[in-house]
Amino acid sequence: MIVALWGSSGSGKSSLSVQIALALSRKKHNVVLVDTNFVVPQCGIWFPDMAATQQHSLSTILENEITPEGLAGRIHLVNRRLGVLGYTMGELAMNSLIQRYDTAASLLHIAATLSDYVIVDCQTNITQDHLTFTALEMSGRKIIIHTPDMRGISFRLSNVTMLADSKYNMENAIQVLNKVRTISPVDSIERVIGNINYTLPFDHRVYRALCEGESGKLSGYDMSKPYSRVFDSLINNITSDK
């Protein structure tokens, strides 16, 4: 199953993508985590021990014919259950030239045949990235992440209309309000953007791990109990069809 996470810049979608990938791998699922960000490649931030080589780069993969054997050999294995695909530094200029819908769809389809879950950390700006809008179209689960403020509301109202086509099936997307504090106007936000399925509280441990480049090492024991309860419920939702 392809799981696409999308939201505004600073919404926490990348951190949540890593957390979900790690949680699923700990449940003994085979997972491929895809970082679509070629502006600020994050694989080396999430997993500092990962050697970001051109061989494992999405640019190299997308400019050639994609086969199951070829893709399997280019996935960087973090552990025996979790593999990562992403860009290396300095690929911004060439990325827009090589991405096409058909290659993006082929990569995601093959990755899904090689694993139980493909977690796609989508770019905020879907207009500049074929992988992002292709993942949003092909995904069995879409998770839309909002910040609990006016920026989150503005992003929602400004961008969701681009995904109005029925092929995106946005009416069934999982809506997550992230980084919620006690003063956050949750009820007011929900009146504007609709039903929120999960409200994740601001967690100092998660935030510290993100700032220190330790997100790739987070476990349920590193989260506060309120955060962990909501997060575990989200994981159960994702795995409910498996």
**CATH architecture classification, 2-235:** 3-Layer(aba) Sandwich (3.40)
Q: Say if residues 86 and 39 touch (Cβ distance below 8 Å).
A: no
Low-confidence ranges of the chain (pLDDT < 50): 93
Exposure string for 205-225, b = 16+ CB within 10 A, e = fewer: ebeebbeeebbbebeeebbee
Q: Which residues pair with 33 in a beta bridge?
A: 84, 119
Question: pTM score, two decimals?
Answer: 0.92
| Residues 59, 87 contacting (CB under 8 angstroms) | yes
pLDDT at 93: 46
Q: State the Cα–Cα distance between residues 78 and 63, nearest whole angstrom.
A: 24
